[in-house]
Chains A and B, each alone.
Chain A
Amino acid sequence: MTATLEAAAPSPAGEIPSFTVTMRIRRFNPEVSDEPTWEDFTVEAHGTDRVLDALHKIKWDMDGSLTFRRSCAHGVCGSDAMRINGRNRLACKTLLKDVNPDKPITVEPIKGLPVVKDLVVDMEPFFASYREIMPFLITTGNEPSKERYQSPEDRARFDDTTKCILCAACTSSCPVFWTDGQYFGPAAIVNAHRFIFDSRDEGGSQRLEILNDKEGVWRCRTTFNCTEACPRGIEVTKAIQEVKRAMITRAF
């Protein structure tokens, strides 16, 4: 990847239109002040640049103290979920030209999780909920000597929820989660759904039991914020409804 990036840089300007864009970033440094502040940076950007490229320019060339997470930078690792122009997105999947570069582009940390510094939040409460729903295959009896067979139809049943990258864009877009952070959150339910509807898994009823909690699926108000926020296009609210339905059919 590095080779292609370097090769692209010296290509003649004018091929790709470039423009200046103002990045309005919410800065927070607990060692300096307890109050977060907005800081504007003006960046020269190309039409093909993503929000992450603009953040890189700021960090590498203007202010090295800017702090944010990113790992793969290609929309798979789920490290750089942030609130861009008021919506949760992955900085590495959002092109600057798609978020109206004529006006300042606001970049904030995702809401509802404690901010550590600048755009970095403490993901621990999010992962704690994820661990609670036991995101691993649970089986009984002897291990089979060959693969655990699954038909394509059975696989398709939970295909949508296998796409989750645990970026927390959904959970931190949920107004119920913002209130007190006690709600399990859409991401935990999506990952429970992935195993509950897996024909090879036998821990479904345990997971339903865990999510049949005052802070579980029943706190979902179907506002669809999570479905809109998901950078992987998972139908999150639908998955939550399916888990609700499974609980009701189990109870009656």
Chain B
Amino acid sequence: MAHGTAAVAKVDSPRSPYVRRKTTRGNYELYSWIFMRASGVVLLVLIFGHLFVNLMVGEGVHAIDFAFVGGKWSNPMWQVWDLLMLWLAMIHGTNGVRTIINDYATRDMTRLVLKGLLYLAFTVVVVLGTLVIFTFDACPPDAPAELLASFCTA
């Protein structure tokens, strides 16, 4: 467009950032959309199962101590349960916050920094949590026997 005056040319400038920068086609957002729904349903079962077993069965909340947790994590079923809960909840939550950042951050730099922090937090929590679930020692040596689970005989 050839405009005669500088004043008119000034109007044109706000136009540039509104052009779509690049096409970002692919199934990534499709799978993430489906994952959010599927993991949401699975998490409902996992979390309410977790709450029910920890807080209501038997003595309920009063039964929770080191031995109780140690007993649970010596059982492969609960290891898998908690691992699944950890991973699904973390991916589900991180993906949710990622979409929120995409929606609300107006500047690319803000978006980059916020997402960087988010992915860092995700990595720390998931690595630490996974490590704990698999390396947890229910029967640490030199611990008073009354604090440990019943199967610790050392």
Do A and B interact? Answer: yes
Using a CB–CB distance below 8 Å, which chain A residues touch chain B? 30-31, 113-117, 122, 124-125, 128-129, 132, 175-176, 179-182, 209-210, 212-216, 218-219, 221, 244, 247-248, 251
How far, in angstroms, from A244 to B11 measured CA to CA in the complex? 37
Contact of B25 among A115, A180, A181, A209 (CB under 8 A): A209
- Is B20 in the interface zone, CB < 8 Å from A? yes
Interface centre among B30, B32, B104, B106 (most CB of A within 10 A): B30
**Smallest beta-carbon distance A173→chain B, Å:** 15
How far, in angstroms, from A122 to B13 measured CA to CA in the complex? 11
The total of chain B residues at the interface (CB under 8 A) is 27
- Is B10 in the interface zone, CB < 8 Å from A? yes
**Smallest beta-carbon distance A125→chain B, Å:** 4
A218 — which chain B residues lie within 8 A by C-beta? Answer: 29-30, 32-33
B25 — which chain A residues lie within 8 A by C-beta? Answer: 209-210, 212-213, 216
Known contacts A216-B29, A248-B30: does B15 contact A124 (CB below 8 Å)? yes
Find out whether the CB atom of A182 lies under 8 angstroms from the CB atom of B21: yes
A213 — which chain B residues lie within 8 A by C-beta? Answer: 23-26, 29
How far, in angstroms, from A125 to B17 measured CA to CA in the complex? 10
Known contacts A30-B11, A114-B15, A116-B11: does B30 contact A251 (CB below 8 Å)? yes
Q: Taking A114-B18, A115-B14, A116-B11 as given, write out 13 further A-B residue pairs in contact, using a Cβ cutoff of 8 Å, ordered by the A residue number.
A: A30-B11, A125-B19, A128-B19, A128-B20, A179-B103, A179-B106, A181-B17, A182-B20, A212-B25, A213-B25, A215-B20, A218-B30, A218-B33
B75 — which chain A residues lie within 8 A by C-beta? Answer: none
How far, in angstroms, from A128 to B32 measured CA to CA in the complex? 27
A244 — which chain B residues lie within 8 A by C-beta? Answer: 33
Interface of B is mostly: helix
**Smallest beta-carbon distance B11→chain A, Å:** 5
Residue of A nearest to B13 (CB): A114
B20 — which chain A residues lie within 8 A by C-beta? Answer: 128-129, 132, 182, 215
**Smallest beta-carbon distance A31→chain B, Å:** 5
Can you list 9 A-B contacts with CB-CB less than 8 angstroms, sorted by A residue number?
A30-B10, A117-B11, A180-B106, A214-B26, A215-B20, A218-B33, A219-B103, A221-B103, A248-B34
Using a CB–CB distance below 8 Å, which chain B residues touch chain A? 7, 10-11, 14-15, 17-21, 23-30, 32-34, 99, 102-106
How far, in angstroms, from A179 to B29 measured CA to CA in the complex? 18
B11 — which chain A residues lie within 8 A by C-beta? Answer: 30, 116-117
B14 — which chain A residues lie within 8 A by C-beta? Answer: 114-115, 122
Residue of B nearest to A129 (CB): B20
Residue of B nearest to A126 (CB): B18
How far, in angstroms, from A212 to B24 measured CA to CA in the complex? 9
Find out whether the CB atom of B18 lies under 8 angstroms from the CB atom of A214: no
Find out whether the CB atom of B28 lies under 8 angstroms from the CB atom of A214: yes
Find out whether the CB atom of A30 lies under 8 angstroms from the CB atom of B28: no
B28 — which chain A residues lie within 8 A by C-beta? Answer: 214
Find out whether the CB atom of A122 lies under 8 angstroms from the CB atom of B15: yes
Find out whether the CB atom of B24 lies under 8 angstroms from the CB atom of A176: no
B24 — which chain A residues lie within 8 A by C-beta? Answer: 213-215
A219 — which chain B residues lie within 8 A by C-beta? Answer: 29, 102-103
**Smallest beta-carbon distance B53→chain A, Å:** 34
How far, in angstroms, from A61 to B17 measured CA to CA in the complex? 38
Find out whether the CB atom of B106 lies under 8 angstroms from the CB atom of A212: no
A30 — which chain B residues lie within 8 A by C-beta? Answer: 7, 10-11
Residue of A nearest to B16 (CB): A114
How far, in angstroms, from A219 to B20 measured CA to CA in the complex? 14
Residue of A nearest to B104 (CB): A179
A113 — which chain B residues lie within 8 A by C-beta? Answer: 18
Residue of A nearest to B20 (CB): A182
**Smallest beta-carbon distance B57→chain A, Å:** 38
